[in-house]
Structures are given as structure tokens and as C-alpha cells.
A and B are shown apart, each in its own frame.
Chain A
């Protein structure tokens, strides 16, 4: 029979990850719950997933593309900005979701034991679904503007999603721990995310920065969005080096996030 030992301070170990694996069914159920609730009224759920990036695209196309004549590497502006928004929305909503995952589930955390790590992870699953639905608009736009994507997008898409996912989880885990202690962090976060939109080449091409583009490159989302455009529109070769750096950067972010999260995890129930 299995014996559980409860001690004051659990040291950080690989068993934690094993435990997450053991509880994968619960993670599945949390994700299932979120998807069910979000798409319970199918039409509203789908409409919302499309509406947000679509409206942003329309507004940006009118003001930046149309009025401000923002360059877009020769790609029609709506499709250019939409491809960036697609990844940006995924990243920003996933980051927000993860950072609220502990406070938002306080009711469960204070009543039942399970590895807390599965909350932020399963919270992101709905964002994948949203991403999938919103991608349909991109497909439509590609047809409309007669763009044939480079087939490499199929190969590279999982990698881009993975980098975005890790970036959101890593940053989100850190923010989730801070959020438990300082409850006003979640009010600052939307502002912070809004600012980040402007230091990510979503509404403008990365080439606009000229010799300072290395500053943009420090943002892992730059690599992701640049690579997605390169694969979709063939406007530039894929910068594998930049992607590699992005991947390493988000992995470091993930480690920091997990360590921070694990360090504060045990006492969440006392302060939530």
C-alpha cells in the first residue's frame, strides 16, 4: 500500500513533475471544464474567439495601415497585422489566464489537494482552441488576398505555438505566485500587456527598427511572429537562429517561473 509522508518543508524534486503526470486526468478535466463553459453556448463562444482579433485587425488596418501608412513588408496590411495578432492574442490571453489561475481557483485550492501546477497548464488549453478558431479567419484572408502559404508553416507552427506556450506559462507562473501575495497585480497586468503589444512587432514589421532590431529580438514573441510571417508570406527567410534564441529564452523564463511557483506553492492555501 502506498504511504504518504507529510513533512514541514518538501524539497523541490523531480517527483513533483511525476506527480503532475499522475494527476493528468484532473488536468484534463479542468481543461474540459473551461472549454465546456466557454463554448457552452457555441455561437457566443466561437463568435467571441473570432470577434476579438477580428475587430483589432479592422481598427489597426484603418488607423495604422490606412491612415498612418505603416509599412508591412509589402504584404496587405490586414493580413499582415492579423497574423501577428493571432499569436499575440494567444500569448496575452494565456498569460492573463495563467496569472489568475491560483486566485481564480482559490475555492478549490483551499479544499482539495492536487499538484497546483496543473491549474495554470490546463487553463491554457482553451486558448489553444481559441487560437484554432481565430486561425480560420486567417485562412479566409489568405484566400481573399490570394496568398499561397509556404508549406513550411505546417512544420513550423507547432514549434511557434510551443514557444508561445512556454513563454506564457513561464511568465504566468511567476505572476500567479506574485498575484497571490499582492492582489493588485492583476489590475496592473492588463496595462503591462498593452504596453508589451507595442514592443512586439504586431502592428509594424520588425524591420522598422533598423539597426536597433536586436532590442526587439530580446522579446521572444518577436521571433515567433517574424517566423510565422516568413513562413506564411515568404517575405523573408526564416531566421532559425532567432527562433533558437527565443526558445532558450522562454525555457529560462519557464525555469524561473516554475521555481518561483514551487517555492510559494506550499503556502498558497494559507494566504489565499
Chain B
């Protein structure tokens, strides 16, 4: 069978600029020139001669892959492994630095649901606009219009501006349009993370069905291992910009989970690599027990603490620490944040600790995403996925399973109050 995608020696290099944001202001450049014209000229000359060592970072390196027509391939890897970069190159949003890619057929990418939706326009108008942006012709949109509307389930609000939609309706409409694209190759980023569970299922089903009946090739990035497992026969594991494994999904996921689990329960960041912006940066994160000792794992009947140290660099914001807990399959178990408090904005080092009560989490591997963000106006100063990983195991001496031998299902396993009255 013909190959749908051939990727040869693809690499992508970024030059790290010291200024966060990547762009500069003309005012600064002019000020620099005027202040110190000789230094600037020298710098330019050196740059032209290649004497200045640029800080380079390879987001992807030596990627070689061949994907057959009709395959659904999952792509997994921790944050910064290069998943998004690979998708962006495949969708032609950004060019590779090295290598070559051949794509056989029409390509569509879905890196976000509802790209280009305009809040002032009605649902009907946005179907056309979004469809065109996703690469459908007007004729195709007209033909599929009724199916799209039916799939989204928002017939009644078709002529309402989408700014009045609930976020659920918005996502359903956006996904309905996307689900009716008919490219030969579809590149999908973590878009299923949004929307309610029911709709997610429907969308996954639709993706699955079209690939089976029409031989569509799909590349699918997700943190949700359950979705990957359901959809993809084969999966690519990326690590630090390289393909470390491309095999049957089950094997790849097992290796990935094992790798996450083996990572320490304490993570420290060097100053120059620390996640953060000009307001707050992250120093370290760890898992502790009730005596504030670092622990490798915990039992379900004990309190678990997650703490992280961060530094506030400026007084003008009041950033709030928050922690998101994910299961090993990438589902978000819950998130929690500290209450607003003026003291949170004081310049200097802070340590935030969140206590998860005993008898809440079920057995399993969990990852914690630590975030510091200002709520108003919303600004995320840093957001570190998989900052720490921890295992919760059942205490055999204090098990609540009685004779039940398997893992009790569910993300949480709280100890709730029951009543039982003999009538």
C-alpha cells in the first residue's frame, strides 16, 4: 500500500532569545543604537560573521517516520518532547530546519477547535467561515451543512451569535465542523480534551468510523492515554525531540507510563531552565508526607502533600498557586488553588503546599501540574505539566477492600458516610 506520510531526517531548530515573547520593540532597538552605536555595530558585525554563539535548541531532531495510508497513529510524550512542533511542521504552519516530508493527498489539521470563529457571527455563518479556514470548499460545506448541524445538536441556536453560546455549545459546533472535513490526512492535536464526556465519545467514534470506511490517515496527539488506546493501533513516543519508540500502542504506552513513574518525587529546576516569566519562576516541586519528609510513594490511608517553591520577582501582581492532578492516562482528576490573599504577591521565595486528604485518591500513578497564575487579568506565569509524579498504593494492613482482589474502579476512592437501617 502507498505511504501516506514519509518523514526523512526532519529537524527543527529554534534560536532562544533572551527576551521572552520572541519579538522586540523598535523603540528598544533604536534606543540601543543611539545609546551605544559602536557596541551595536560591533555586535551586528560579529553576528554577520557568525562569531556570536547563538543559543540553539532543537525541538525536533532526526525524525524519520513512514506512515501507511489508513493508519491512525497516536503521538505521546511529555511536555516539550516535540509533539506540537511535529504537528506544526506537518500542517505547514512552520517550516522544518532540516529534512523533507512527503504527504500524499489532501491534508487538514485540527490543532484547535473553532479556529477563526468570530464571536459576532451566528452559528450558521461560523460554520461556513470555519469550514473554509479548515480547507473545505463552499460546495462541500453546503453539502454537509445539515449533517454538521445535526451532529452539533444546536439547531435552535443556529442564528444566534456564537458569543452568546455556552462553552459547551461552542465546542460542539466547532467540533462538528471539524468532524466533517474529508481530507486524506488529518493531523489532530489535543482537541478532544475539551467538551463533555458524551460529546468526546461521539467525536472519537466519528474519527474512528471515517478512517475505517474511507482510508483516512490520522495523526493524533493526546495526553489522554485512554483515547489513544481506543483509537490508535500504533503509537509514536517522542522524547526530547526524538522518536524513541514507534510500535503497537499498548507497548508504547506501557513504556511511557513506566518512564513517568520512575521519575523522582522531587524535581528541581536550574535557574536558567526554570519555567516562568518576569513575574514568577518555579524552583522545585516535591511529594511529602505529613511530617514534611520527601516520600517516593504513599498509601491511600495517608495524607499526601504536594509542595512547590517559587519566586515572585515583581510586586505588581498577586499570582495564585494552583495544582492540577492527573491520572496516568492523562485525565484530570481535579484542580485546586490557594485562596486569594494579598501576601501571595509579596516579592521573594514562596513555598506552597497542597494537602490531599487521606482516603481520597485511588491506587495508581498520578502526575501533578503546578501552576502559578494571576486571575485578573488572566496571566499564566508558569504551568509545569508532570512536575512531580507519585504513586498511591493500597495499604495491605489497612485495606478497605476486604476480600475484593482487584483495583477498585474510579479516579477517587473517598471514604463516604453510609447509613443502613434495618427495616
Contact = CB atoms under 8 A, between A and B. Distances in A.
A182 interface: yes
B184 A5 contact: no
B138 interface: yes
Contacts of A108: 115-116, 133
B223 to A, nearest CB: 19
A6 B95 contact: yes
Contacts of A181: 23-24
Of the four ranges (under 10, 10 to 19, 20 to 34, 35 or more), the interface on chain B belongs to 35 or more
A3 B109 contact: no
B33 to A, nearest CB: 13
Contacts of A37: 118, 120-121
A187 to B, nearest CB: 9
A182 B98 CA distance: 27
A66 interface: no
B25 A182 contact: yes
A211 interface: no
Interface in A149-168: none
A269 interface: yes
A29 B134 contact: no
Given A8-B97, A8-B99, A33 B118 contact: yes
A188 B22 contact: no
Interface stretch (B85-93, B206-214, B330-338): B85-93
B95 A266 contact: yes
A184 interface: yes
B380 interface: no
B128 A113 contact: no
Contacts of A6: 89-90, 92, 95-96, 100-103
Contact of B116 (A5, A112, A185): A112
B100 A7 contact: yes
A26 B132 contact: yes
Given A25-B138, A26-B132, A36-B121, A8 B96 contact: yes
B68 to A, nearest CB: 14
Interface of B: 14, 22-27, 29, 88-107, 109, 111-112, 115-116, 118, 120-121, 125, 128-129, 132-135, 137-138, 184
11 contacts: A3-B102, A4-B92, A4-B103, A6-B92, A8-B99, A25-B132, A29-B133, A37-B121, A108-B116, A112-B115, A271-B23
